[in-house]
A = this chain, B = another copy of it.
Amino acid sequence: MSQLRKDPIVERWVIIAKERGKRPSDFVFNQHKKVVGFCPLCPGNEYTTPNEILVYGRQSNIPNSGGWKLRVVPNKFPALVVEGELDKRGEGMFDKMNGIGAHEVIIETPDHDASIAMMSVEQISLIFRAYRDRINDLSRDMRIKYIMVFKNYASAAGASLEHSHSQLIALPIVPYLIQEEVVGSAGFHKYKDRCVYCDIIRQELKSGERIVLENNEFVVLCPYAPRSPFEMWVLPKFHSSDFNYIDDTKLMSLADIFSQTMKRLDKALPDVPYNFMLHTGPVRTPNLDYYHWHIEVMPKLTMIAGFEWGTGFYINPTPPEESAKFLRDIKL
């Protein structure tokens, strides 16, 4: 079983995932190699994945067979597992616990070659529906304190399989960056009695200079202090701290604007590697006045190097006003 360990000085946890254990000779420096041939996520190869947890669109009742539109399966090499006890304990002055949680793979489409930029709005809505359904299911496990859903697109952004998929990791502690957001937005709320994200949306819609696109329910903007060129945040215009309470109408509206967002990104930077992360409130903290769920999209265009590792600062060569204008002006 993997271990969660805390740095003794700062609030940083790491997962020591020994099951993925590597000796020096196992590290491949060229991370751009393309894996070709057999794909375990393709229809017909369902027997190679762990048993599915969720499936959409299959007519038959035979689990792990073909004919599906989307599947969710446990990660074959999980960073965290559901079975076992947390067993929080010390090791001298250090702190650790067992790697309890969940690690799932959302197989977004049966089509091996489809990227989100190419998918129908209907298919994208299934992806968000799967996020919602899995979060709702896992939230019933009281050991789980946070659920992070994310996507790595292309090997340069960390994807080890080509077939379009996202991942979900359920954690036994609220991770540091989310805790920072929760504390920061709670501080703003205490001071102003307003949600900081709602205020951002209001100011950004008024100025317009960092807006990429909007519809009735959602807005996509380049944040004021972006870590990366072309970083985008997708925010609901309505206040909500929990993604998993989204209704079907809004889910479809989200799929629609997300489709346009990813098409724009792909047209601006064809096939750019990217990550996106769903930031939602900690599980079982419904309807927080001060927190606001959103999706952060981070194209991989700059590097985390010594300065960023040492300081937590980011150097970004492209002002968000320029990124937003470029993405806004794209003709689809």
Q: Bits for A184-227, please: 1 = Cβ < 8 Å to B, else 0.
A: 11001000000011011001000100000000000000011111
| A275 at the B interface (CB under 8 A) | yes
- C-alpha gap A11/B158 in the complex (Å): 26
Q: Using A8-B224, A309-B150 as known contacts, say yes or no to A319 and B32 having CB atoms under 8 A apart.
A: no
Q: Determine whether A88 belongs to the interface, using a CB cutoff of 8 Å to chain B.
A: no
- Per the bound structure, the CA–CA distance linking A91 and B95 in Å amounts to 42
Q: Return chain B residues, CB-CB under 8 Å to A32.
A: 30, 32
Q: Fill in one digit per residue for A1-12: 1 if any B CB lies within 8 Å of its CB, else 0.
A: 001011111111
Q: Is the CB of A167 within 8 A of B307?
A: yes
Does B317 contact A309, Cβ atoms closer than 8 Å?
A: no
Which residues of B have CB within 8 Å of A92?
203, 207
- B306:A31 contact, CB within 8 angstroms: no
Contact among B175, B225, B303, B317 with A312 in the assembled complex (CB-CB below 8 Å) = B175
Given contacts A158-B303, A275-B306, A23 and B326 within 8 Å (CB-CB) = yes
Q: Which of chain B's residues has its CB closest to A20's CB?
A: B317
Q: Which residues of B contact A150 (CB under 8 A)?
A: 305-307, 309-310
A31: which B residues are within 8 A, CB to CB? Answer: 303
Query: 29 pairs across A/B with beta carbons < 8 Å?
Result: A7-B225, A9-B181, A9-B188, A9-B197, A10-B180, A11-B180, A12-B227, A16-B320, A17-B317, A18-B317, A18-B319, A20-B315, A21-B322, A24-B230, A27-B272, A30-B32, A79-B307, A91-B224, A93-B199, A146-B311, A150-B306, A150-B309, A158-B304, A176-B313, A178-B311, A275-B306, A275-B309, A276-B306, A296-B310
